[in-house]
Amino acid sequence: MRRLGLSLYPEHSTLDEDKKYLDTASKLGYSRIFASLLELGDDKDKTINRFKETIAYANKLGFLTIVDMNPRLFKALAISYDDLSFFHELGAYGIRLDEGFSGMEEAKMTRNPYGLKIEINMSSGTHYLDNIISYHPDKNNLLGCHNFYPQRYTGLGEKFFIKWSNFFKKRNIHSAAFVSSHEATFGPWPVQDGLPTLEDDRDLPIETQVKHLLLTGVVDDVIIGNTYASDEELKKAATVFYATYPTLKVDLSSNITDLEKEVVLKSTHVYRGDASDYLLRSTMTRVKYRDGYFPAHDTQDIQRGDIIIVNEDYGQYKGETQIALRDIKNDGRRNIVGHLNSNEAFLLSYIEPWSSFKLVE
């Protein structure tokens, strides 16, 4: 089951603020929490109690909380890898190991009596997972989660992200990655340039970041890394996460006709399977709108990302919706009715033949 999540940093917030945030997110379908316990602060007991209060409230709302830890904090809290009762008493669903042990410890941790999930770092770029698997863990209790990157220009590149996400996917390990809010004001550390997993997502609208992660097809859960995302951001992220079909934003031409606008925005488009290098073809619109009238207009040369409606001059093809994959000449039989939004044009590369999608303003 895929989950949409958010992050909380109780040592930097108040319980009332956390509750308000959780109430809003819960109604939108958010169901998992990343909570960083990497910094205990000056009063260890106070920090732990704050975590307990927040997690207890989250549990009532049906959230699953995974607490971020490392071996240094295991030592500071006198926690042994073969006794995870501390996390059970905390109310946590699982533990994320920001840094790992040798592999044997992680495997043993997955067999804890509380059913706690053990989530490991997917961004290390090593065969650490295979090492854990060699010690025969309970794979039902083993999860993966990428890092987030507060420092600009340090987030993961796409090629690396795909490679190591697939590494986990091929081993049937449930996975997660982070997107970043532009309204949130804090994370675990003072540095605040956003908290995405992918560097190229850092400045994109949050809903576009979510679409990007989902369209890669290599991670399951999406988590907002910084706190607090605005109500509008929470809603936008949830809308695209739970959408029946992927959506691409378009900027429509001022000359688009009412019928063309209906074709573009109200259709569920299907990328025709016998794919061309030049055009993504959504051919069923010409069947549905075969009796429509599509006079020629805006027939200038075509650029990649242009939204096209084939016009009356192309006979039986009129009413077909197309998206340009390359710059091409226009012989006057294709109306340019819009263009993929500049933030989302790159997502066109992720739409595969025979997949369905929608276009939204």
Single pTM value for the model: 0.95
What is the rounded CA–CA span in Å between residue 250 and residue 209?
A: 16
Per-residue pLDDT at 238 exceeds 80 = yes
Per-residue pLDDT reduced to its tens digit, 40-73 = 666 788 888 999 999 999 999 999 999 998 778 8
Percent of the residues in the chain that have a pLDDT greater than 70, as a whole number: 99
Q: Which two tokens stand for residue 42?
A: 């000056």
The number of residues in the chain equals 361
For residues 175 and 219, the answer to whether their CB atoms sit within 8 Å is yes
Among 338, 357, 337, smallest CA distance to 347 is for 357
Range of lowest pLDDT (4-13, 232-241, 246-255): 4-13
Among 344, 349, 350, 122, smallest CA distance to 216 is for 350
Kindly indicate the confidence band of residue 254, based on its pLDDT and cuts at 50, 70 and 90: very high
Per-residue pLDDT reduced to its tens digit, 332-342 = 999 999 999 99
Among 257, 251, 248, smallest CA distance to 309 is for 257
Per-residue pLDDT reduced to its tens digit, 104-127 = 999 999 999 999 999 999 999 999
What is the rounded CA–CA span in Å between residue 40 and residue 242?
A: 35
- Give the model's pLDDT for residue 81: 87
For residues 264 and 257, the answer to whether their CB atoms sit within 8 Å is no
Q: Which CATH number fits domain 248-360: 3.40.50.1110, 2.120.10.80, 2.40.100.10, 1.20.910.10?
A: 2.40.100.10
CATH class of 4-243: alpha beta
The domain spans of the chain are 4-243, 248-360
Give the helix/strand (H/E) hosting 71: helix 71-76
Per-residue pLDDT at 37 exceeds 90 = no
Per-residue pLDDT reduced to its tens digit, 126-169 = 999 999 999 999 999 999 999 999 999 999 999 999 999 999 99
What is the rounded CA–CA span in Å between residue 317 and residue 203?
A: 39
Kindly indicate the confidence band of residue 265, based on its pLDDT and cuts at 50, 70 and 90: very high
- Give the model's pLDDT for residue 41: 65
What is the rounded CA–CA span in Å between residue 358 and residue 243?
A: 10
Q: What is the DSSP letter of 229?
A: P
